């Protein structure tokens, strides 16, 4: 039994009440009145459950008054949609013989017309107009379902993208980098085409933060990320590695070209002006860069480690410079 509680009113459903529903548009009600007389009215209290996925449903319900909530995961989940007067409920499980796909619960007192499955099938056999209206209704219901799925997938994609983006700088984050490295490890092109990595670090960033404050430090990181993104090709992949450190993956890029890209980034960042939120000019910053082309027989992780070692050497040798892996 799908209903948790019900009150049968015993009242006959009038023609005017049936006309509230689109499925009865242009239907000769007089002709099918003997079948309609089998339908009954039930009253639901607020909180009563009309449909549950755990229970079989053998009726279509027409909502004469009140509102119901439709939820997918559980009765307590946020409703996917609310349905009001003039809506049909439960028709899909009658047609396909499967349990309902959602929970339907009364939000307030509702009055419903109950059409049992045998009666519904006889109504369909007896009225081409009713059959046509049901097809039209079901097509609209399916389209609405498709729209909901499309919106849901769009939100999932947005959430997935947000999970892979650094909130401060807007570039990819470490999580995305790890996924990309897994992809690169299994890609055959990595073995046949040149690949290089740049590891970049903002010079004296801790001193800058201590002197001008963390808000100004955030502005620096945003400026560095924005400047590098403008200076890279669409195929190049930029991510914040952590703190003031960034990483760039350069597909199809040999050592000489990778070093040229690094120099272009270094000059671009050094030439940028920085203005604090209060309007005062802040000193420019520089970056150190370690460059590591992928060596023969080397893994992607080993290439990144080599770039990190080259970055350490660049900082050790005076900063604001580029070092190629040894």
Averaged pLDDT, 190-206: 87
* 265 contacts 321 by C-beta, under 8 angstroms: no
User: What does pLDDT average to over the chain?
Assistant: 88
Q: Find out whether 42 and 9 touch, Cβ atoms under 8 Å.
A: yes
Q: Return the higher-pLDDT residue of 189 and 240.
A: 240
Ordered structural domains, the chain, with CATH: 7-157 (2.60.120.10), 174-324 (3.30.70.270)
- Which residues, other chains included, contact 198 with Cβ-Cβ below 8 Å and sequence gap of 6+? 247, 248, 250, 258, 261, 262, 265, 289, 290, 291, 292, 307
For residue 90, report the phi and psi dihedrals to the nearest 5 degrees: 90, 0
Nearest to 9 by CA among 109, 133, 132, 156: 109
The pLDDT of 207-217, averaged and rounded, is 92
Q: Is the pLDDT of residue 35 over 80?
A: yes
pLDDT of residue 112: 95
What is the per-residue pLDDT for 158?
Answer: 62
258 pLDDT above the threshold of 60:
yes
Q: Cα–Cα distance between 74 and 182 in angstroms, integer?
A: 37
Q: What's the pLDDT at 192?
A: 65
Q: Determine which one of 244, 245, 296, 298 is catalytic.
A: 244
What 3-state class would DSSP assign to 249?
strand
pLDDT at res. 9: 54
State both tokens at 85: 């007067």
Q: 145: exposed, middle or buried (C-beta count within 10 Å: 0-12, 13-18, 19+)?
A: middle
Q: Which of 149-163, 241-255, 272-286 has the lowest mean pLDDT?
A: 149-163
> How far from 78 is each of 81, 102, 103, 175, CA to CA, in Å?
9, 12, 11, 30
- Tell me: pLDDT of 64 over 90: yes
Paired strand residues for 249: 197, 237
The pLDDT > 70 percentage for the chain reads 88
CA dist., res. 157 & res. 283, Å (int): 39
pLDDT at 194: 86
**Which residue in 125, 66, 120 sits closest to 91, CA to CA?**
120
Whole-number pLDDT of residue 1? 42
Q: Could you tell me the end-to-end alpha-carbon distance of the chain, in angstroms, rounded to an integer?
A: 75
**Digit-coded pLDDT (tens) for 37-52:** 999 999 999 999 999 9
Contact of 252 with 259, CB cutoff 8 Å: no
- Residues 55, 4: Cα–Cα separation, whole Å: 11
Specify the higher pLDDT residue, 278 or 128. Answer: 128
Q: How far apart are CA 234 and CA 212, in angstroms?
A: 34
* Predicted local distance difference test score (pLDDT) of residue 250: 92
Interatomic CA distance for residues 43 and 26, integer angstroms: 28
**What letter does residue 310 receive in the DSSP assignment?**
H
244 has catalytic annotation: yes
Whole-number Cα distances in Å, 264 to 97, 222, 249, 289? 66, 18, 15, 11
Please name the residue that has the structure tokens 């570039």. Answer: 171
């Amino acid at each position: 039994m799908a209903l948790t509680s019900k009150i049968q009113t015993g009242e006959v459903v009038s023609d005017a009440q049936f006309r509230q529903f689109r499925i009865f548009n242009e239907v000769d009600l007089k002709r099918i009145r003997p079948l309609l007389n089998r339908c009954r009215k039930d009253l639901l209290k607020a909180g009563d459950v009309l449909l549950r996925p755990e229970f079989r449903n053998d009726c279509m319900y027409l909502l004469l008054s009140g509102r119901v909530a439709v939820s997918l995961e559980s009765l307590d989940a946020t409703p996917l949609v609310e349905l009001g007067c003039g809506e049909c409920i439960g028709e899909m499980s009658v047609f396909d013989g499967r349990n309902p796909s959602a929970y339907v619960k009364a939000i307030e007192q509702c009055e419903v017309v109950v059409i049992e499955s045998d009666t519904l099938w006889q109504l369909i056999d007896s009225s081409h107009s009713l059959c046509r209206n049901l097809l039209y209704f079901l097509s609209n219901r399916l389209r609405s379902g498709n729209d909901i799925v499309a919106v849901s997938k769009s939100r999932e994609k947005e959430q997935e993208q947000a999970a892979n983006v650094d909130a401060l700088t807007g570039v990819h984050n470490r999580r995305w980098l790890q996924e990309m490295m897994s992809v690169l490890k299994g890609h055959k092109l990595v073995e046949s085409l040149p690949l290089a990595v740049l590891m970049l670090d903002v010079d004296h960033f801790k001193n800058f933060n201590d002197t001008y404050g963390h808000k100004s430090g955030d502005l620096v990181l945003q400026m560095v990320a924005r400047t590098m993104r403008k200076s890279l090709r669409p195929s190049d992949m930029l991510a914040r590695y952590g703190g003031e450190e960034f990483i760039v993956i350069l597909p199809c890029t040999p050592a000489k070209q990778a070093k040229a890209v690094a120099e272009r980034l270094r000059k671009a960042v050094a030439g940028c002006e920085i203005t604090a939120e209060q309007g005062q000019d802040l000193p420019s910053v520089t970056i150190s860069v370690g460059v590591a082309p992928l060596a023969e027989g080397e893994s992607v992780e080993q290439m990144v480690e080599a770039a990190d070692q080259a970055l350490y050497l660049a900082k050790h040798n005076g900063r604001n410079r580029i070092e190629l892996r040894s």
